[in-house]
């Protein structure tokens, strides 16, 4: 389906230079000379690369219908992440290159949305946050009172992130899986 | 749309107002006269690339159309004709149809100043001094705050720029350097569109101006103001002359824009004083507005009358003050400066 680039919005999948991209950001831009444009940041579902492009607001863009299907994350190896569709029991693999580090924060058995186009899995929709247990955390150095100080902690998936000094082993942290940033601790 | 209160931005907002104070301090020291102006006007300068806000004034059973001014130019030039001399307006301007974004708000603070007996490059010199002044004052302010915690310091350390000079580049040089489009192709519509098509741009059904803007935004702008100095890009094709005087080459206009970190901050012209040429450009712009289905506001005929009387040699610049403050304070969005924001 072709749409006017002026109507592009975040989350849309488009066909650009024969590849499928997801719109990460689309901003109307009026340069003050000449007509208005749409400035977009698009994400390649295959390579997980971001690029900036510009469309004339009257330009037509091919939008593709990509389905997002809830699946269970089974396991990963050096090349792929493996998922199962709980309704059909079909298994799908998503290449690691398409998820750009997201795999470090995924627990087996977790349910995630997988992007599917023509029954081919393309990528995984990153969850807004994940909850992961701390398996290793050094004691904070006494006397260190700077409130913004952080220390490295190891999570149950093996990922190491920076967390506040008060975090202890066994705590459940809330992490942004796209950036690996600590965003909070689950209340006990 | 709704009203959003961002009370945690209060400190940023105060810094934004501090920058406004610095600008005014500088201009007044230099002898520019401050003028306050209406923001509602019954006529406007026709500009095809922007949309305006329309409202009406009602009394008994009568109604009169009024428009929010997208720039104070129509008023300031009347005063220049009267002989006011170098002057400025620092206040609200309004542009419709552009959804709020990190760099744009439909209601924004504009600084517009005019210098008499000057051309666009004289304004460039003055502007560099203003930038230097803001930078220096912010630094002094910072060292005064050094004893306090880091968070309270102004954030302009992110700006690793020197204001000792401009990086000056003409539009033709920039197209050759960054987009591999040569001067011969740049000014010839047919050659330009051919080259654009080769580069992979959609050109069918689009005008020279539309494709030109797209290439400018995609391939030129991202490089500007990133080489250690603010960039001044000058001499735009005559198609983008707007209210600027043409150069003797007949192909370019005496217009410049300036950039820091890829962000356009201001737009300057040596002002066109030839009323006949200005009237022709107005009619063309008005026709284009009608074609695009934009709000059909009356053309400001009084403006042409004023030019007939005689505009002194002068140059002027319009600067988006939120953007300027955002860059100096190291933010990535103008919303960070607002305590009250209208959002979609």
- Closest chain A residue by Cα to residue B222: A52
The band of A101, judged by pLDDT with boundaries at 50, 70 and 90, is: confident
Question: Domains plus CATH for chain B?
Answer: 2-159+298-343 (3.30.930.10)
Q: Domain limits of chain A?
A: 2-63, 67-124, 130-185
Planar angle of CA B200, B205, B206, nearest 5 degrees: 65
Interior angle at CA B239, CA B233 and CA B245, nearest 5? 70
Bigger pLDDT: A53 or A98? A53
The torsion region of residue A87 among left (phi > 0), alpha (psi -120 to 50) and beta comes to: alpha
Q: Is residue B72 pLDDT above 50, yes or no?
A: yes
Quick count: other Cβ atoms within 10 Å of Cβ B275? Answer: 17
Of A17, A37, A60, nearest to B214 by CB-CB distance is A37
DSSP line for chain A: -EEEGGG--TT-EEEETTEEEEEEEEEEE--SSSS-EEEEEEEETTT--EEEEEEETT-EEEE---EEEEEEEEEE-SSEEEEE-TTT--EEEEEGGGTTTGGGGPPTT-EEEEEEETTEEEEEPPPS-EEEEEEEEPPPPTT---TT-EEEEEETTS-EEEEETT--TTPEEEEETTTTEEEEE---
- Is any Cβ of chain B less than 8 angstroms from the Cβ of A56? yes
Q: Closest chain A residue to B200 measured between Cα atoms?
A: A17
Percent of chain B with pLDDT over 70: 96
Closest-CA distance of chain B to residue A32, Å: 7
pLDDT of residue B151: 44
- Distance from the Cα of A69 to chain B's closest Cα (Å) equals 30
> Global pTM?
0.82
Whether residue A48 is predicted with pLDDT greater than 90 in this model: the reply is no
**Tens digit of each residue's pLDDT (9 = 90 or more) over B144-197:** 765 444 444 445 445 578 999 999 999 999 999 999 999 999 999 999 999 999
The CATH number of domain A67-124, selected from 3.90.180.10, 1.20.1440.230, 3.40.50.1950, 2.40.50.140: 2.40.50.140
Confidence of residue A142 (pLDDT cuts 50, 70, 90): low
Contacts of B264 in chain A (CB under 8 A): 31-32
- Which of B98, B209, B210 is facing A28, going by the closest CB pair? B98
The reply to whether residue B242 touches residue A33, judged by beta carbons under 8 angstroms, is yes
Model pLDDT for residues A3-46, shown as the tens digit of each residue = 989 889 888 999 998 899 999 888 888 877 777 889 999 988 88
Quote the tokens at residue B179: 């987009």
Q: How many CB atoms lie within 10 A of CB B14?
A: 11
Whether A7 and chain B come into contact, CB under 8 Å, resolves to no
The per-residue pLDDT for range B92-104, each reduced to its tens digit, is: 999 998 778 888 8
Question: What digits encode the pLDDT tens for the residues B34-61?
Answer: 999 999 999 999 999 899 999 999 999 9
Cβ proximity of B189 and B169 under 8 Å? no
> Across the A/B interface, how many CB contacts are shorter than 8 Å?
70
Distance from CA of A60 to the nearest CA of B (A): 9
**Residue among B35, B43, B88 nearest B70 (CA):** B43
Level-2 CATH architecture, domain A2-63: Roll (2.30)
Cβ atoms of residues B49 and B95 within 8 Å: no
What's the mean pLDDT in A46-60?
Answer: 87
Domain A130-185, CATH 2.40.50.140 — does that match? yes
Q: Is B58 exposed, middle or buried (0-12, 13-18, 19+ CB in 10 A)?
A: exposed
Q: Pick from A28, A35, A60: which is nearest to B209 by CB?
A: A35
Domains A2-63 and A67-124 are alike in CATH topology? no
């Amino acid at each position: 389906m072709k749409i006017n680039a002026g109507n592009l919005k975040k989350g849309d999948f488009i066909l650009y230079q024969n590849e499928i991209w997801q719109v990460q950001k689309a901003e109307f831009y009026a340069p003050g000379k000449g007509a208005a444009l749409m400035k977009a940041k698009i994400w390649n579902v295959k390579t997980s690369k971001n690029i900036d492009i510009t469309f004339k607001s009257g330009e037509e863009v091919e939008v593709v219908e990509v389905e997002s299907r809830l699946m269970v994350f089974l396991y990963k190896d050096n090349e792929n992440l493996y998922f199962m569709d709980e309704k059909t029991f079909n298994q799908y693999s998503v290449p690691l290159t398409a998820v750009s580090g997201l795999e470090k924060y995924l627990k087996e058995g977790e349910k995630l949305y997988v992007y599917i186009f023509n029954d081919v899995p393309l990528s995984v929709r990153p969850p807004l946050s994940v909850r992961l247990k701390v398996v290793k955390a050094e004691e904070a150095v006494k006397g260190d009172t700077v409130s913004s100080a952080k220390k490295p902690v190891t999570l149950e998936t093996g990922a190491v992130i920076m967390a506040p000094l008060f975090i202890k082993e066994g705590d459940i942290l809330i992490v942004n899986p796209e950036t690996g940033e600590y965003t909070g601790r689950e209340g006990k | 749309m709704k009203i959003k209160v961002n009370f945690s931005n209060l400190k940023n907002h105060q810094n934004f107002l501090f920058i406004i104070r610095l600008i005014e301090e500088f201009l007044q020291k230099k002898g520019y006269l401050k003028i306050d102006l209406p923001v509602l006007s019954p006529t406007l300068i026709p500009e095809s690339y922007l949309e305006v806000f329309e409202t009406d004034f009602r009394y008994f059973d009568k109604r009169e159309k009024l428009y929010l001014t997208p720039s104070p130019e129509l008023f300031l030039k009347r005063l220049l004709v009267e002989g006011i001399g170098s002057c400025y307006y620092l206040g609200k301007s309004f542009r419709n149809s552009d959804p709020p974004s990190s760099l744009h708000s439909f209601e924004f603070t504009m600084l517009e100043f005019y210098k008499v007996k000057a051309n666009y490059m004289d304004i460039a010199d003055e502007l560099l001094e203003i930038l230097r002044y803001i930078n220096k004052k912010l630094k002094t302010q910072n060292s005064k705050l050094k004893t306090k915690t880091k968070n309270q310091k102004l954030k302009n350390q992110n700006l690793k720029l020197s204001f000792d000079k401009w990086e000056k580049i003409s539009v033709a040089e920039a197209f050759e350097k960054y987009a591999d489009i040569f001067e011969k192709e740049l000014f010839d519509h047919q050659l330009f569109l051919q080259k654009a098509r080769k580069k992979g741009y959609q050109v069918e059904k689009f005008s020279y101006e539309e494709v030109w803007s797209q290439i400018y935004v995609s391939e030129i702008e991202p490089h500007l103001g990133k080489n250690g100095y603010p960039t001044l890009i000058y001499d735009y094709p005559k198609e983008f002359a707007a209210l600027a005087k043409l150069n003797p080459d007949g192909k370019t206009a005496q217009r410049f824009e300036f950039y820091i970190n890829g962000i356009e901050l201001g737009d300057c012209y040596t002002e066109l004083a030839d009323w006949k040429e200005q009237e022709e450009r107005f009619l063309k712009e008005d026709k284009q507005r009608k074609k695009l289905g934009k709000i059909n506001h009356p053309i400001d005929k009084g403006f042409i009358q004023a030019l007939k009387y005689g505009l002194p040699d002068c140059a002027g610049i319009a600067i988006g003050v939120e953007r300027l403050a955002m860059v100096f304070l190291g933010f990535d969005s103008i919303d960070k400066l607002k305590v009250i924001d209208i959002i979609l």
